[in-house]
Structure 1
Amino acid sequence: MLVLIGSAVLGVAAAGFWLWLAPRVPLVATSDHLVYMQDAEGEQTVGQDGVFVLVTAAFGLLCGAAVVAWKRRGGVALVLALALGGVAGAVVCWQLGMVWGPGDNIAAAAKAAGLNHPFPAPFRLQATVALLVWPIGALVSNLALTAGFGPRDEVPAVFVPTGGVTPGEWQR
């Protein structure tokens, strides 16, 4: 439960990083009361999604590594908590990023900016499949680190039926 809640709380920090690093989409209001993108061929909207993917991937990798460092012996419960916490953290990041970013009232922003002056568009996540990047990153790093540095199972003793023969005799 602590892993799930911790991941969701880290979504707040991830939202801050997303807002800080993501490019802004500039909009422009024209005299005919329409709002257009300033650069119709710009890549800022894709850049916002890309930065979201990179930020959530980094947070997912860190969460998976932190769980391995905290609990060497994993288990199904920790893996499920990582997966669900990753989704929760990504959703928190997405929703807070939209709330903290430029407002949704485009008409008021256009009026405040004035005609033919750029103003930022509201943050949007166009590729909602990006919400799965955090849990996938967490699970991949947890699996890799557990496989590399986790506890090893003891090698079981090999049972060789001898049929009444002593071990020294059957080797001859």
Structure 2
Amino acid sequence: MKRRKLAVGGAVLGGTAALGAALGPLWWLLAPRPQVTVGRDGRILPLPVSDADFAVDGFFVLIMTAAGLACGYTVYIVQYRLAARDAADLRMVCLVSLAAGSLLGAFAAWQVGTLIDAAEFRRVVSSASPGTVVRSGLQLHALSALMVWPFVAVLQYGLFDAVSLWRGDVPAERRAEAPGAGEPAASGRGGAAGEDAGATGGEQARDSG
């Protein structure tokens, strides 16, 4: 059972992290690029300031929120069905794996998205003269946005688990508390005892006869 829990946790961790690598190109496609000014020695000046500077982080937050909702729902439903089938409690291992995988996925989305056009942006900056306004490469300014995916995923997962506890339909607990769980063995012993009693009574009747 411990090996099975590790396998389920590893699958959740790996699948969630891999999803982040796929969301990086999506962020790169959707997010706008602000304009920046090339300063001396190749430095970048965030001028002129526009709404695109904030929209880049906003698109990342929206994508991470959607990923958190989807992953929280999917992981809970999958573990619920596995737990109902195998009579195992997989809630904690899936929750920890979901949180860790979501954080890794957010980091992967950030790195993949920014690396797609990083080389091209460096080439443009190196060839531009000071004071030239160029289109910026993709950058995430608010690194706190990396916590959005794991926060939303854990919150979604916790809400489903709370509803399941409130309804009393947690698979492992429901299987353990099911009435008559131990009756087949008991009835079998009772039947054997009854047969033995009947056989003894029959022998006594023949002896008395």
TM-score range, shorter chain: 0.7 to 0.9
Identity of aligned residues (%): 27
> Does structure 2 retain, via aligned residues, the 8 Å contact 1:103–1:122?
no
**Secondary structure of 1:92's match?**
helix
Aligned with residue 4 of structure 1, among 13, 16, 28: 13
Gaps of 5+ in 2: 1-9, 84-89, 178-209
Structure 1 gaps, min length 5: 157-172
Which amino acid counterpart does residue 153 of structure 2 have in structure 1?
A
Match 1:90 to one of 106, 113, 120: 106
Q: How many residues align?
A: 153
Give the number of the structure whose alpha-carbon radius of gyration is greater. 2
Which structure features the higher share of helix residues?
2
Structure 1 contact 61–141 (Cα < 8 Å) conserved? yes
Of 69, 79, 99, which aligns to 1:71?
79
Higher relative contact order (CA 8 A, sep 6+): 1
Q: Aligned residue for 2:36?
A: 27
TM-score by length of 2: 0.62
Match for residue 159 of structure 2?
144
2:124 to 109, 121, 144: 109
Asked if structure 1 preserves the Cα contact closer than 8 Å seen for 2:79 and 2:91, the reply is no
Following TM superposition, by how much is the alpha carbon of 1:104 offset from its aligned partner in structure 2, in angstroms? Answer: 6.7
Question: Once the two structures are superposed, what CA deviation does each residue of 1:120-140 show, in whole Å capped at 9, x if it has no partner?
Answer: 212222111111111111111
3-state DSSP of counterpart to 1:126: coil
- Give the RMSD, CA atoms, in angstroms: 2.9
Q: Which residue of 2 aligns with 1:16?
A: 25
* Aligned pair partner of 2:140 in 121, 125, 148: 125
Q: Normalised by the size of structure 1, how large is the TM-score?
A: 0.74
Deviations 1:39-85 (A, max 9, x none): 2x312222111111111111111111111221115421111001000
Q: Distance in 1 between matches of 2:144 and 2:126?
A: 34
Give the CA deviation at 1:146. Answer: 2.6
Runs of 4+ off more than 2 Å: 27-30, 33-39, 101-106, 110-120, 145-154
Partner of 2:5: none
